[in-house]
Amino acid sequence: MSPITKLLIANRGEIASRVIRTAREMDIACVAVYSDADADALFVREADEAVRLPGTAPADTYLRGDLILEAARATGVDAIHPGYGFLSENSGFARDCAAAGIIFVGPPPEAIDSMGSKIEAKKTMAAAGVPVLPGITIDTEAEIDASALSARVAAEIGYPVLVKAAFGGGGRGMRIVRDEAGLIEAVEGARREAVTAFGDGTVFLERFLDSPRHIEVQIFADTQGNVVHLFERECSIQRRYQKIIEEAPSPVVDDALREELGRAAVAAGKAIGYVGAGTAEFVMGSDGGFYFLEVNTRLQVEHPVTELVTGLDLVRLQLEVAEGNPLPDEALHATVTGHAIEVRLYAEDVPAGFLPATGTVHGFSVPDLPGIRVDAGVSEGSEVGVHYDPMLAKVIAWGATRDQARRRLARALAESSLHGVVTNRELLVGILREPEFAAGTIDTGYLTRHDPVTLSRAGRGANIVAVHALAAALAAQAVRRASARVLGHVRSGYRNAPSGWQEAVFDIEGEEVDVRYRVGRSGLRAIVDGTELPGVVLHSATPDRVDLLVGGVRRPCAIRRVGDTAYVDSALGSTTVVEAERFPEPGSRNAPGSLLAPMPGTVVRVPVEVGAEVKEGTTILVLEAMKMEHTVSAPVDGTVTELRVRPGQTVDLGAVLAVVEAPE
């Protein structure tokens, strides 16, 4: 093959930026494709050229192979890198690239076909002697006979059962069923999600192992027949069956087990004629026994941890192999040095049940500490919508030991700022500092044993709301003083003679917080929600920084103000403080019993009708956002008196969806 001189990245977000970074180091020109929602995205600005894909939904843009090939021809590229997700495991697209004379930076279509169906992949691995779990397949068009399926599951698998989409990955379309009662609903829900995410509703059912470890092995192969493994990664910290923290190497895999895992992964690669970067995934029990899950025929989200411990650039290797070059000696004889841990920073509200979050990014920064790497898909001003995966960035730390990497990463995250969008940052910090994680005694059941909300609040100071509310009030007053036309030299809040209290009302985490303060000759007095704060001393107050002493502890607070919202950061944590509407319009309050949209999304199902009598927990409707389904349930026993939405309708955050009235 000829050298690649111009590369189109058929993806978006942080992976597009990641590929661009390495390609430019190799003097390869880069072309981005983008949807209307991504017109101002970071990766578009980083590319040398960019081509618009009209529309916003993935099916109309990033999943349109014909449009991407049209963009490739128009810009004269030599190759297409599919990143991960979207078309990265689409054998038809790989064939179309070959037919167009364009290099597909990935494995041969035949290898994708063999692993594209998890069902066929299991058969292939079983034939190769790799341990697999028994399962049942349900085709996308098959009618579901509830009684017959229940009988088969009881006889062939047993409970608990894992229901999983046959195509795709990322935890989409995955359900765990503990007993017969939830089986049919789980299968139907998985099929709907699979159709939306991957265009095929085929699912399979297999025995679910409670709380195993999730271990995967990075493999790499070239066109000269070399197939190697680049060691394992531990991916056991998951929520909703999607990884959020990964590390390399695994804290429980010794040299003997590492060799056994590596042999199995290499054998899998050879069995399917693999070329390029791929990952063999396994579940592992406490006895060290492992069972095949799947082979991901693409680069993985978590590839940076492998890069940091091996010193290899996996994207560079992908491009070199795609050019027809053999794997270099450093890949054929790779070694592990130190330890690396990666966290996925998601736009989601953990206390609200991991609901996707949207908004405009303000002030995103991660401190430049030793051993820290950031692969980001957003920057100042980026818009985070409902159309795509909620991952904003990956933050990765390397250390000579696992503990050093863990501590570095926890500190970097704790000192990071990302305003305007609710994220899972506090949860990630809480996990990294939790003793069980620190000891490496983890498995896929970690977040069932450890409450995510409790972990998210573990690092927050007890008086964070009071201190940050007062800081926000003083910063707002400083803004007003800065624009004052008279007595501009007088410090914020000062009164020459005793006078009434200054007052501010804020919305903090859904609660109304009242702040009253007064600055006089004797200093600052402050009352928050009726309680006077002890020993308050105001050292300084500017629009973007308030230095307070409260209860004998000095608390410098950084404030970033956007409209009526102040983002306050200190050693206590981070708080979003919204100035409350003091005099709302009459009739603007929602009626009692109103069910509000927890995030922007699309209504996919409304299984009840107006007038229906429902019990607490009954599904009223199902929303889809960021490729995930979210159920809106009745909060109490009552009657559905209003349904304001229909299937297919798009709704905004906070919109009234339905009203359930409780009996008098």
C-alpha 575/C-alpha 183 separation (Å) is 41
Question: In Å, how far from its chain's centre is CA 405?
Answer: 21
Residue 273 has pLDDT above 90, yes or no: yes
Residue 197 has pLDDT above 80, yes or no: no
Confidence of residue 319 (pLDDT cuts 50, 70, 90): very high
List, in sequence order, every beta strand (DSSP E) within 122-190: 135-138, 161-165, 175-177
Per-range mean pLDDT, top range of 94-103, 164-173, 652-661: 94-103
Residue 643, Cβ neighbours under 10 Å: how many? 18
Question: For 594-661, CATH number?
Answer: 2.40.50.100
The pLDDT score that the predictor gives to residue 143 is: 82
C-alpha 567/C-alpha 43 separation (Å) is 26
List, in sequence order, every beta strand (DSSP E) within 222-289: 227-239, 242-248, 276-284
Contact present, 540 and 547 (Cβ < 8 Å): yes
The pLDDT score that the predictor gives to residue 422 is: 94
Per-range mean pLDDT, top range of 13-22, 152-161, 515-524: 13-22
C-alpha 283/C-alpha 290 separation (Å) is 5
Contacts of 51 (CB under 8 A, 6+ apart): 31, 32, 33, 34, 71, 74, 75
Contacts of 278 (CB under 8 A, 6+ apart): 107, 111, 218, 219, 220, 221, 269, 295, 296, 297, 298
Q: What is the mean pLDDT of residues 422-435?
A: 97
Residue 627 has pLDDT above 80, yes or no: no
Contact present, 629 and 189 (Cβ < 8 Å): yes
Confidence of residue 539 (pLDDT cuts 50, 70, 90): very high
The pLDDT score that the predictor gives to residue 489 is: 54
pLDDT over 90 for what percent of the chain?
A: 70
Average pLDDT, the chain: 91
Contact present, 168 and 150 (Cβ < 8 Å): no
Residue bearing the bigger pLDDT, 189 or 250: 250
Note the CATH architecture for domain 6-105.
Answer: 3-Layer(aba) Sandwich (3.40)
C-alpha 473/C-alpha 502 separation (Å) is 9
pLDDT over 70 for what percent of the chain?
A: 95
Residue 240 has pLDDT above 90, yes or no: no
Question: For 134-207, CATH number?
Answer: 3.30.1490.20
The pLDDT score that the predictor gives to residue 33 is: 98
Phi, psi of 406 (to 5 degrees): -60, -50
Give the fold, CATH level 3, of 213-456. Answer: D-amino Acid Aminotransferase; Chain A, domain 1 (3.30.470)
C-alpha 111/C-alpha 278 separation (Å) is 10
How, if at all, do strands 531-532 and 523-528 pair? antiparallel
Q: To 5 degrees, how large is the angle CA 488–CA 489–CA 492?
A: 80
Q: What is the mean pLDDT of residues 362-385?
A: 94
| CA nearest neighbour of 393 among 408, 380, 379, 377 | 377
Residue 328, Cβ neighbours under 10 Å: how many? 14
pLDDT digits (tens, 9 = 90+) for 331-357: 999 999 999 999 999 999 998 888 888
Residue 593 has pLDDT above 80, yes or no: no
Residue 180 has pLDDT above 70, yes or no: yes
C-alpha 253/C-alpha 229 separation (Å) is 15
Tokens found for residue 316: 């560079």
Confidence of residue 582 (pLDDT cuts 50, 70, 90): low
Phi, psi of 580 (to 5 degrees): -75, 150
C-alpha 10/C-alpha 80 separation (Å) is 7
Residue 484 has pLDDT above 70, yes or no: no
The pLDDT score that the predictor gives to residue 493 is: 53
Contacts of 489 (CB under 8 A, 6+ apart): none
The owner of tokens 């970097």 is: 412
b/e per residue 442-471 (b: at least 16 CB within 10 A): bbbebbeebebeebbbebbeebbbbbbbbb
User: Of 98-102, 113-117, 456-460, 512-516, which range is least confident?
Assistant: 113-117
> Which run of H or E residues covers position 23?
helix 13-25
Phi, psi of 338 (to 5 degrees): 75, -155
- Residue type at 418 in one-letter notation: L
Sign of CA dihedral 13, 17, 18, 23: positive
The owner of tokens 């795509």 is: 388
pLDDT digits (tens, 9 = 90+) for 399-408: 999 999 999 9
Q: What is the mean pLDDT of residues 171-186?
A: 87
| CA nearest neighbour of 544 among 605, 498, 446, 476 | 476
pLDDT digits (tens, 9 = 90+) for 72-96: 999 999 999 999 999 999 999 999 9
* CATH class (in words) of the domain with range 464-579: alpha beta
The residues facing 164 across adjacent strands are: 204
The pLDDT score that the predictor gives to residue 498 is: 55
- 298 given a catalytic annotation: yes
Confidence of residue 494 (pLDDT cuts 50, 70, 90): low
Long-range contacts of 129-132 (CB under 8 A, 24+ apart): 129/267, 130/264, 130/267, 130/268, 130/292, 131/289, 131/290, 131/291, 131/292, 132/291, 132/292
The owner of tokens 């992976």 is: 15
Contact present, 606 and 644 (Cβ < 8 Å): no
Domain ranges of the chain: 6-105, 134-207, 213-456, 464-579, 594-661
The pLDDT score that the predictor gives to residue 476 is: 93
C-alpha 18/C-alpha 304 separation (Å) is 10
pLDDT digits (tens, 9 = 90+) for 91-138: 999 999 999 999 999 999 999 999 877 778 888 888 888 878 888 888
Catalytic residue among 233, 298, 402, 433: 298
C-alpha 271/C-alpha 259 separation (Å) is 18
Question: Whole-model pTM?
Answer: 0.84
The residues facing 418 across adjacent strands are: none
Q: What is the mean pLDDT of residues 538-565?
A: 95
List, in sequence order, every beta strand (DSSP E) within 544-617: 545-550, 553-562, 565-570, 573-579, 594-596, 601-605, 613-614
Helix (H/G/I), strand (E/B), else coil: 663: coil
Q: What is the mean pLDDT of residues 285-301?
A: 91
Residue 504 has pLDDT above 80, yes or no: yes
The pLDDT score that the predictor gives to residue 268 is: 92
Q: What is the mean pLDDT of residues 272-285?
A: 95
